[in-house]
Amino acid sequence: MSLLEVTDLTMAFGGLVANDRISFTLHEGEVLGVIGPNGAGKTTLFACIAGFLKPTRGQVRFAGEDITGMRPDRICRRGLVRTFQIVRALPDLTVLQNVMVGAFLRTHAMREARQIAEEVLAFTGLEARAHTPGKNLTIADKKRLEVARALATQPRLLMLDEVMSGLNAQERQQAVTLVRAIQRRGISILLIEHIMDVLLPLSNRVLVLNYGKKIAEGSPDSITRNPEVIAAYLGSSYASPS
Amino acid sequence: MLDRRLPAPLTLTALAVVIGILVTTPLLINNNVFHHTLILIGIYAALAQAWNILGGFAGQISLGNAIFFGIGAYTSSLLLVRAQLSPWLGALAGMALAMVLALLIGYPVFRLAGHYLAIATIALAEIALVVFQNLEFVGGAAGISLPITRDMQGRPTDSWWMLQFNSSKLPYVYLALGVLGVVQVVATLLDRSWIGFFLRAIKNDQTAAAAIGVPVARYKLIALLISSACTALIGTFYAQYLLFVDPETVFGLSLSVLIALVAILGGAGSLWGPFLGAVVLIPLAEATRSQLGGRGTAFDLVIYGLLIMVIAVFQPAGLTGLPERFRPRQRTSVAPAAPADTQMEESLRS
Ligand SMILES: Nc1ncnc2c1ncn2[C@@H]1O[C@H](COP(=O)(O)OP(=O)(O)O)[C@@H](O)[C@H]1O
Ligand SMILES: [Mg+2]
């Protein structure tokens, strides 16, 4: 069953077309990878889907409902949540409190929210940081907090925007393990990474963007053999972890 | 908020001591000036706490909370003068009116990005000031004097129902503390509920808050509604205490700014900041006022404004943030890595 359906989505900033008639479908339970060089329009695509930008044209359907242009909090309530590439930990709130804000979407009871948050912190390996204010976290922990907070809203579809960039090899491995564990929980994932080596093994299918256009879609294998994709990435450092 | 509090027994003990002192000292020191000062402290601490729910918790700065104060004061006073209605009922009417106005301000303003709340509230308070100064129906610039409650023999008397006490200031002291207690409890309950979490999330980063399901505009509006209702209630009480209302006193910009200053001086966003700010600032303000004579002069406003700027620059966390400032730095292995992280973050921007 298709959970997310994007049809002819176009987002223009004045003359710059950041997303150009993009269409794709994400199936329930799937990890769909999105790759493309910096500036390809990946983050913009997330912003349009999650309600942070109003697409110039096109439609976004989630779980059978048209959510195009809907407010982000309403979309989140329906079970679609995004993380931010430029991390946005709530600085004055502790890690636990950050995650509890997400948990309060589903319950208004303090104890229950705390329980959900603690469970999510254990799942994401952040328990040791529970009482650290958001502003004092390392970049790796901030990225993990982005994921934890999103999970606390109990989503059906989680959209991760470069949660592995800027991490060292060990931290990246932990993140990969976490993404796999999330998928095992039955949560569908739309995953942006510009490093192919990280993204390909995690994805069931891959979508390739370049200059705002979808240039390829298919299995990880077929993507690596696609001449257009190779051309887009040729000579760039994105093909392997820096 | 959770985890930032003192251990529960300590907090309770501190609370019991503060309440004990507040309840007993007015009896022990039976002096009119002292009682008057306590009443003003109670009123301003409550006003600042009402402001704090909006400005401190949610980060939505109002520089016109006097509009709600004036509505509370005028509504109950007019209902009393024209319809002999008890101020208790007048207070409810004032709170309802203030909330209707808050809705009319907040609904459009919170749907815009940017800091329009401060401008909108200042503008409306100034409009109300001019309108009330020129409307004969509400007493014009001279204001309204409230009728003295008298007994059968025509002597001034005390009445809880008419919320008027002519024999002593003591009941007003306890009423002021009671009003403060109510607002303090409201703030505490909010702080410990999901609403408090949502408001603080909005203050920290409203885009991040929206992403995890916080209906940002709705919760800003909720904060404004609560703040306006509390402020109006205090307005009614103030009118009953002075038995007099005039536009400059209740709608003036200097009142709005003083409310914000008390909260900011004490510590915006903290539960005890407004009380602490009032304890420190109000006796000072009273003393200097009687020295300099007259209120509502531009001079007050200049001093208040300067103070707010000084605090914003040198001690944004206010008085309640002082212990944090002088506490030895906690060991954080994280701190030195921060610049590199920031650079990496920058290089990833795309
Ligand atoms: N708010 C905006 N206003 C104008 N241009 C933007 C805005 N957001 C993104 N862009 C532009 O759109 C293009 C795609 O950006 P982005 O979606 O961030 O790419 P990616 O995430 O794939 O690196 C870039 O050229 C970027 O400069
Ligand atoms: Mg991006």
CA-CA distance, A162 to A109, in Å (whole number)? 33
**Identity (one letter) of the amino acid at A3?**
L
Residue A174 above 70 pLDDT?
Answer: yes
Chain B neighbors of A110, CB-CB under 8 A = 192-194
Q: Which tokens sit at B304?
A: 């208040």
Residue B7 above 70 pLDDT?
Answer: no
Q: Left, alpha or beta for B132 (phi > 0: left; psi -120 to 50: alpha)? A: alpha
CA-CA distance, B245 to B144, in Å (whole number)? 5
8-state DSSP, A8: E
* B212, B218, B334, B343: best to mutate for the A interface, most A CBs within 10 A: B212
pLDDT of the residue at B164:
87
Beta-strand (E) ranges in A14-156? 16-27, 31-35, 57-62, 65-66, 80-82
Among residues A39, A74, A59, A53, the alpha carbon closest in space to that of A192 is found at A39
- Shortest CB distance from A91 goes to which of B204, B213, B341? B204
pLDDT of the residue at B234:
98
Report domain extents, chain B. 35-150+157-252
pLDDT in tens, B56-77: 999 999 999 999 999 999 999 9
The pLDDT confidence band at residue A241, using thresholds 50, 70 and 90, is: very low
Q: Which tokens sit at B181?
A: 């207690």
pLDDT of the residue at B333:
42
pLDDT of the residue at B335:
39
Residue B332 above 50 pLDDT?
Answer: no
pLDDT of the residue at B292:
60
pLDDT in tens, A25-43: 999 999 999 999 999 999 9
Residue B294 above 70 pLDDT?
Answer: no
Backbone torsions φ then ψ of A197, nearest 5 degrees: -60, -30
Segment B193-203 shows an average pLDDT of: 97
> How far does the CA of residue B19 sit from the closest CA of chain A (Å)?
27
Report the percent of chain B where pLDDT is more than 90. 60
Contact assessment for residue A132 and residue A163, using Cβ atoms and an 8 Å cutoff: no
Characterize the bridge pairing of strands A213-218 and A2-13: unpaired
pLDDT of the residue at A236:
53
Segment A88-100 shows an average pLDDT of: 97
Q: Hey, which residues does A22 pair with through a beta bridge?
A: A9
CA-CA distance, B210 to A47, in Å (whole number)? 12
- Give domain A2-87+155-238's CATH architecture: 3-Layer(aba) Sandwich (3.40)
Residue A168, class by beta-carbon neighbours within 10 Å (0-12 exposed, 13-18 middle, 19+ buried)?
exposed
Among residues B219, B230, B304, B225, the alpha carbon closest in space to that of B264 is found at B304
Residue A76 above 60 pLDDT?
Answer: yes
Q: Complex ipTM above 0.90?
A: yes
Most confident of A186-190, B116-120, B303-307: A186-190
Residue B23 above 90 pLDDT?
Answer: no
What residues contact residue A124 under an 8 Å CB cut-off, 6+ apart?
A144, A147, A148, A151, A178
pLDDT mean across residues, chain B? 87
8-state DSSP, B212: T
Q: Hey, which residues does A213 pair with through a beta bridge?
A: A210
Chain A neighbors of B192, CB-CB under 8 A = 110
Contact assessment for residue B178 and residue B23, using Cβ atoms and an 8 Å cutoff: no
**Chain B neighbours among A 39-68 (CB < 8 Å)?**
39, 43, 50, 52
Integer-rounded Cα radius of gyration of chain B: 22
CA-CA distance, A113 to B61, in Å (whole number)? 29
Count of Cβ atoms closer than 10 Å to residue B245 Cβ: 28
Cα nearest neighbour of A141 on chain B: B334
- Looking up tokens 């020129």 gives B134
The pLDDT confidence band at residue B1, using thresholds 50, 70 and 90, is: low
pLDDT in tens, B247-261: 999 999 989 999 999
pLDDT in tens, B110-162: 987 777 898 899 999 999 999 999 999 889 998 999 988 888 888 888 888 88
Which range has the worst mean pLDDT, A95-99, B19-23, B171-175, B269-273?
Answer: B19-23
**Identity (one letter) of the amino acid at A207?**
L
Tell me the C-alpha to C-alpha distance, in Å, between residue B262 and each of A110, B109, B133, B140, B188.
31, 25, 27, 29, 18
> How far does the CA of residue A105 sit from the closest CA of chain B (Å)?
6
Question: Does B346 touch chain A if contact means CB atoms closer than 8 Å?
Answer: no
The pLDDT confidence band at residue B3, using thresholds 50, 70 and 90, is: very low
